[in-house]
């Protein structure tokens, strides 16, 4: 029950952070997607967290043509979280890679469906170049929020181990 409330809390936190005023692309969604994939054993629940954030906030913000690319990139990020170990270095690399995947996939989608850029190789290059400021924000947010989520999880896990230790000792007595 506590885990389910924690998952719901993550969705609410991510949805609120995505709706409240923020610099473009500076949201915890990418970090939560990677964190969910890395920490939550159940793949459906891990995937439901970022998708729940996106659906909930998009109901308020509105729908757009590149949504399949955004949703798809975060689904890949969840699966990516499953592949990386629990070491800090590995997680950092995974968070970095997840931001690159988001940048490549979503901007390809923008080039493909929005009609803002010519459907040429040069148009694709212009699209990616125009998106660099958004990439900086998304990368900074993913690294910032990802670090915060993993640090908070470590503190909580340590706290739960400390709480369990006396109980285990009392049972052995």
Tell me the C-alpha distance between 70 and 72, whole Å: 5
Tell me the C-alpha distance between 46 and 122, whole Å: 37
60: pLDDT strictly greater than 80: yes
Residue 9's pLDDT is 72
Range of the domain at 112: 2-172
CA pseudo-torsion sign 28, 37, 46, 152:
negative
**CA-to-CA dists, residue 66 to 31, 63, 69, 73, 145, angstroms:** 20, 9, 5, 11, 24
- Summarised one tens digit per residue, pLDDT across range 84-125 is 888 889 999 999 999 999 999 999 999 999 999 999 999 999
Q: Are 59 and 98 in contact (CB under 8 A)?
A: no
Length of the chain equals 173
Q: Structurally, how many domains does the chain consist of?
A: 1
Give me the mean pLDDT over the 35-54 stretch. 89
- Extract the tokens encoding 158: 């340590």
158: pLDDT strictly greater than 50: yes
């Amino acid at each position: 029950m506590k885990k389910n409330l924690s998952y719901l809390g993550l969705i609410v936190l991510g949805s609120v952070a995505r709706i409240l005023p923020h610099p473009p692309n500076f949201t915890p969604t990418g970090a939560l997607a990677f964190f969910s994939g890395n920490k939550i054993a159940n793949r459906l629940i891990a995937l439901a967290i970022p998708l729940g954030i996106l659906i909930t906030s998009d109901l308020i913000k509105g729908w757009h043509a590149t949504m399949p690319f955004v949703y798809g990139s975060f689904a890949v990020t969840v699966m990516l979280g499953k592949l990386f170990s629990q070491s800090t270095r590995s997680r950092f690399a995974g968070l970095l890679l997840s931001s690159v995947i988001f940048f490549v996939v979503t901007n390809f989608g923008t080039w493909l469906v929005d009609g803002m850029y010519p459907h040429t190789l040069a148009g694709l290059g212009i699209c990616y170049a125009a998106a660099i400021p958004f990439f900086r924000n998304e990368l900074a947010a993913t690294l910032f929020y990802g670090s915060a989520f993993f640090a908070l999880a470590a503190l909580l896990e340590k706290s739960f181990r400390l709480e369990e230790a006396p109980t285990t000792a009392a049972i052995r007595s």
